[in-house]
Amino acid sequence: MSGLTGCLNLGYQPIAFIPLHLYMPLHDDGYVKYASQWTKTALLKEDFEELIVYRNKLAGLNLIGIYPDQIGYGNISQRIKQTTQFIISGTQTGQHKIALPEHFCKVTDVNIAQNKLLCEGPVQASSEAMTHAAIYLADTNVNTVIHIHHHELWQQLKNIVTTTDITITYGTPEMANAMFDAVKAIEKNKLPKIIITAGHQEGVFTFGSSMKDAYETLMMFYHEHQ
């Protein structure tokens, strides 16, 4: 080593300035943020064949699926008639193109203020189950909630249709409260039953009194914004 090199080596690396947006993740991590009390059980006794059919249709369109980094996205749920309970696709099940009954879970109770959720089934509920719960609580006529990820749809409809604030992230009580308010506003103003989550990348929710209703609302926007 020459004397000159030794003299110039100050023992630290040059600082590289990298624009902040390069550090931002392209999508959320999909992990459950609420306090979940999950009772692992055998297959659910309820009949939810229709839910599986629609879930698999959405997976066929890549609206429910898995990112290249193995993080699952999208979920779907169905209210158990005349109750506040619902059946929802399980967390990290997006890799299955064809879902089976063992990939679903029943949400039996939620407390949005305390961010607590009780569920039972062969898998744990989706990380966005609390958001689904808020929609069911806001409108007793809602029997289905669909949540998909689609970049173009999200980008084009953001702030055009009902949109939750960019500061609100997925799976939080803030998101649940924002969803509750959004559903109430949609009802009051007779707006289309679709919500964009500006603070949850690529996130689109639709809901309706039946599986067909929620799916058709989604497809109407999906075909218009391809």
Q: 5 or 132: whose CB is closer to Zn ion?
A: 132
**Cα torsion through 91, 92, 93, 95, rounded to 10:** 160
Report yes or no: 222 and 153 within 8 Å, Cβ to Cβ.
yes
Q: How far is the CB of 47 from Zn ion (least distance, A)?
A: 27
Of residues 173 and 203, the one with the C-beta less far from Zn ion: 203
Nearest one of 85, 127, 90 to 105, comparing CA atoms: 90
Give the SS3 label for residue 89: strand
Among left, alpha and beta (phi > 0; psi -120 to 50; other), residue 11 is left
Contact string (CB under 5 A) for Zn ion, positions 149-188, x = contact? ----------------------------------------
Instruction: Name which of 132, 122, 73 is nearest 100 in CA terms.
Output: 122
Single out the residue of 72, 90, 199, 203 in contact with Zn ion (rule: CB under 5 A): 203
Q: How many residues bind Zn ion (CB under 5 A)?
A: 1
Minimum CB separation of residue 153 from Zn ion in Å reads 13
| CA distance readout (Å), 92 to 19, 125, 134 | 31, 9, 21
Comparing CB distances to Zn ion, the nearer of 78 and 201 is 201
Report the residue number, 119 or 146, with the smaller CB distance to Zn ion: 146
Q: Minimum Å distance from CB 200 to Zn ion?
A: 6
Smaller CB separation from Zn ion, 121 or 203:
203
For binding to Zn ion (CB under 5 A), which residues are involved?
A: 203
